[in-house]
A and B are shown apart, each in its own frame.
Chain A
Amino acid sequence: MDTLVNLYQGFAAVLTIQTLLVIFLGLVAGLLVGALPGLTATMAVAVLVPVTFGLSAVPALSMLLAIYVGAISGGAVSAILANTPGTPASVATTLDGYPMARLGKAGRALGLSLMVSIIGSLIGITALILLAPVISQAALRFSAPEYFALAFFGLTMVVGISGRDLLKGVVSALLGLYVGFVGLDPMMGVQRFTMGNMNLLGGFSFVPVLIGLFAVSEVLYQATRMGEARPALQAVRNVLPSIRELLRHKWLLLKSGLIGTGIGALPGAGADIASLVSYNEAKRSSKHPEAFGKGSEEGLMASETANNAVIGAAMIPLLTLAIPGDAVTAVLLGAMRMHDLRPGPLLFTYSEAEVFAMYAALILAVLMLRVVGLFMVRVFARVMNLPKRFLLAGILLFSFVGSYALASSFFDLGTALAFGVVGFVMLRFGYPVAPLVLALILGPLAEDRLRQALVMSGGDWSILVTRPISATILALAVGSLVFAFRQQRLIARMQESVDDDATKT
């Protein structure tokens, strides 16, 4: 009952002209970026974090969440119309979305994708609302050893976001740790890796690093890809499915939503993995598995329901434990800190109103998607035909101005450019960027809490395994490492089969 009252108050907080407007703008911006191949949801959120700086916490986070919702849903547009996933989350959507478009059912595919995106998102958000308070209550009993174990658990999950190459993922994570070492040592006050630069005493500013890694690097990378042929677009006419049609697939939608929720709630596993796993499960359990890959509506629905369910689910570890579920939520963590919100179990004690306002904003963004998405699909199909250079130039300017404006710091501007180059080199040599960001957040947390735990125990390392919760989480971390190794092979095989199928269509 308390939850419903809090949610009602959350809606009251976001039902203002300003917040509704920023949700709308965020949704449009997210859909736009999501629809453009090569530009990710993480980039969209990172580059627009500084734009929220002048807003108070609730409208600012509402806007960022709307961008997240829009970008994941927008990824389906280019997946369906051009056989190119707009974001990695839509990779499985190409499999049946594009064949549907080639059969003259592009509008039907877009309409279906829009409606099941809404259903998937609502399943993920429901899980968030129901589970987050329970987990945060349990986490109130956590102390330094448990937090170290959690951060270690998150770091082991790097394997999950390493793509197909584990070693490169570990390199990326280690780079994140190295960057996290820069600054004053929190316990002894000793300068580490600052090279005598006073700007680095507090470490690198998080948002410029993110903007550099996800936005500037992408502009530099896309600059080397300007000569590539543009994908041919399929004609589009929107056809929304009826409620009765959706109800016919209720179990598929529920199952896909729950798969997305389960995978999204794990630190490190994102929407791309969720949509692939859900697609394969739908194919395995379908009465018509032979139709998958040839324009199966079930395949499209499974992918889009699952990747949107991840949005709410990935917020669960972020809000309750301050452990980001994926790269986008890592950016959101930085944005929340910027707005003086401290994710973790105490968030629900000190900032409950803001948390429920965020839930309400998420729900509103999802419902608004029904209207905005429907009207904007044709616009975005046209936008995909615009020369990419205008968007890239705009992103570059926004990135630089945003990095500077946060603290009126030329050093932050240089940080964004430097990390843009780092990100470019990583992209160019096939190193994933997301583990770097995850390790940048979790590394200092793990180090700090381990040292605190050892102070508590007088230097006795057994404190980590003699406390039941800490021992359990560490065991889970080791187990997850083994599981992730096996899972990674499976995902790589699925991805290869997706690539093969996409090549054939």
Chain B
Amino acid sequence: MADLISGLVFIVISGGVFGYALQLPAARGNVPGPGFFPELAAILGIVVGAAICVRAVIAMRVTGGAPRPARPEAPADLLRFAGVLAVSTGYLLALRPLGFALASALLLLVVLVILGERRIFILLAVPAALTAVVLLIFTSLLGLRLPAGTIF
């Protein structure tokens, strides 16, 4: 089923690429234009995506739709993934107003909590220490600039 879904998604992506590429000039004189290769790749993409779908359907018929023997993901696993993704997106948005040091320490703290750390001392010490080390490496040693923050 996973292969069928991913094959279908890829067909949709390739269809989008093909549709966009059709609006680009396909040729300039005898030479392929900016739309030529995207069209070619997208057509191949649709064919390959369809092949994956067909293969998945055949496999499902052979196995009677039985799932593959893989490690199933528990809801907690997916929650951890969603949590890390959400806090990463939040970091992206908070970096400019909060600045690197505060936003990074918060990112680390929340990620550690999501990944199972519960000891208060560790939750305070590790983000602070790691942020300080990264700040030192990038600003003092490498001379790069990191966002200072706008609200403090």
Taking Cβ atoms with an 8 Å cutoff, the residues of A that contact B are 51, 53-55, 167-168, 170-171, 174-175, 177-178, 181, 185, 187-188, 190, 192-193, 216, 219-220, 223-228, 387-390, 392-394, 396-398, 400-401, 404-405, 408, 410, 413-414, 417, 420-421, 424, 429-431, 443, 447, 450-451, 454-455, 458-460
Interface 1/0s, chain B 92-117, versus A by CB < 8 A?
10011000100010011001101111
Q: Which of A188, A228, A387, A447 lies in contact with B25, CB distance below 8 A?
A: A188
Give Cα distance in the complex from A128 to B80, angstroms.
44
**Contact between B144 and A398, CB atoms less than 8 A apart:** no
The answer to whether B112 touches A190, judged by C-beta atoms less than 8 angstroms apart, is: no
**Given A223-B115, A405-B142, 9 additional A-B pairs, CB 8 A:** A54-B138, A181-B17, A185-B34, A187-B34, A224-B78, A397-B107, A398-B134, A401-B134, A405-B146
Q: Are B92 and A410 in contact (CB under 8 A)?
A: yes
Contact of B131 among A223, A387, A397 (CB under 8 A): A397
Residues of chain B at the chain A interface (Cβ within 8 Å): 2-3, 5-6, 10, 13-14, 17, 20, 24-25, 28-34, 37-38, 41-42, 44-45, 48-49, 51-52, 55, 71, 73-74, 76-78, 80-81, 83-85, 88-89, 91-92, 95-96, 100, 104, 107-108, 111-112, 114-117, 126-127, 130-131, 134, 137-138, 141-147
Chain A CB within 10 Å — which of B74, B127, B142 has the most? B142
CB pair B77–A227 under 8 Å, yes or no, is yes
Q: Are B107 and A223 closer than 8 Å at their CB atoms? A: no
CB distance from B45 to the nearest CB of A (A): 5
Q: Closest chain A residue to B142 by CB distance?
A: A54
A178 and B13 within 8 A (CB)? yes
- A sample of 13 cross-chain residue pairs with beta-carbon separation below 8 angstroms, ordered by A number, consists of A170-B44, A171-B49, A174-B48, A181-B41, A227-B76, A228-B71, A393-B126, A396-B111, A405-B142, A408-B144, A424-B81, A443-B41, A450-B32
When C-beta atoms are compared, the residue in chain B nearest to A177 turns out to be: B41
Q: Contact check, A396 vs B88: say whether CB atoms are below 8 A apart.
A: yes
Q: Given A224-B78, A424-B81, verify A451-B49 contact (CB < 8 Å).
A: no
Shortest distance between the CB of A392 and any CB in chain B (Å)? 6
Contacts of A390 in B (CB 8 A): 112, 126
Contact of A225 among B77, B96, B100 (CB under 8 A): B77
Give the docked Cα–Cα distance between A414 and B44 (Å).
29
Cα distance A190–B38 when bound, in Å? 13
* Chain A residues whose C-beta falls within 8 Å of the C-beta of B28 in the assembled complex: 187-188
Q: Report the Cα distance A175→B38, complex, angstroms.
A: 11
Q: Judge whether B112 and A389 touch: CB under 8 Å.
A: yes
Cross-chain contact of A188 among B13, B34, B81, B114 (Cβ < 8 A):
B34
Docked CA distance A170–B52 (Å): 11
The one of A51, A190, A389, A420 that contacts B115, using a Cβ cutoff of 8 Å: A389
A185 to chain B, nearest CB (A): 4
A181-B37 in contact given A220-B85, A389-B116 (Cβ < 8 Å): yes
Q: Give B48's nearest chain A residue, CB to CB.
A: A170
B6 near A400 with CB under 8 A, answer: no
| Chain B residues in 8 Å Cβ range of A455 | 31
Contacts of A458 in B (CB 8 A): 30
With A54-B144, A393-B115, A405-B144 as known contacts, state yes or no: A447 contacts B37, CB within 8 Å: yes
Give Cα distance in the complex from A459 to B146, angstroms. Answer: 50
Do residues A451 and B77 form an inter-chain contact, with CB atoms below 8 A? no
Is A223 in contact with B114, judged by CB distance below 8 angstroms? yes
Whole-angstrom CA separation of A192 from B36 in the bound complex: 12
B48 touches A392 (CB 8 A): no
Give the residues in chain A near B73, CB-CB below 8 Å.
224
A474 to chain B, nearest CB (A): 17
Residue of A nearest to B5 (CB): A429
The answer to whether A192 and B138 touch (CB under 8 A), given A171-B49, A459-B31, is: no
Contact A431 B30 (CB under 8 A): no
CB neighbours of B91 from chain A (8 A): 400
Given A167-B55, A223-B114, A390-B112, the answer on whether A404 and B88 have CB atoms closer than 8 Å is no
Question: Of the candidates A53, A171, A454, which one forms a contact with B144 in the assembled complex, judged by CB atoms under 8 Å apart?
Answer: A53
Give Cα A173 to B44, complex, Å: 11
Smallest CB separation, B41 vs chain A (Å): 5
A401 close to B85 (CB less than 8 A): no
CB atoms of A171 and B116 under 8 A apart = no
- Shortest Cβ distance from residue B126 to the other chain A in the assembled complex, whole angstroms: 6
Tell me if A431 and B6 are in contact (CB < 8 A). yes
Q: Of all chain A residues, which has the CB nearest B135?
A: A401
Q: B88: nearest residue on chain A (CB-CB)? A: A417
Shortest distance from the beta carbon of A230 to any chain B beta carbon, whole Å? 13
A404 touches B146 (CB 8 A): yes
Question: How far, in angstroms, from A408 to B45 measured CA to CA in the complex?
Answer: 35
Quick one: given A167-B51, A227-B74, are A219 and B84 in contact (CB under 8 Å)? yes
| Min C-beta distance of B29 to chain A, whole Å | 7
Given contacts A393-B115, A429-B6, contact A51 B80 (CB under 8 A): no
The interface residues of chain A lying within 8 Å CB-to-CB of B126 are 390, 393
> Are B92 and A174 in touch, CB under 8 angstroms?
no
* Min C-beta distance of A22 to chain B, whole Å: 11
A residues less than 8 Å from B52 (CB atoms) = 167-168, 171
With A54-B142, A178-B17, A224-B73: A188-B33 Cβ-Cβ less than 8 Å: yes
User: Across the interface, do A167 and B48 meet the contact criterion of CB distance under 8 Å?
Assistant: yes
**Within the complex, what minimum Cβ distance (angstroms) separates B149 from chain A?**
13
| A417-B78 contact given A54-B142, A389-B115, A454-B31, CB 8 Å threshold | no
Q: How far is the CB of A407 from chain B (nearest CB, A)?
A: 10
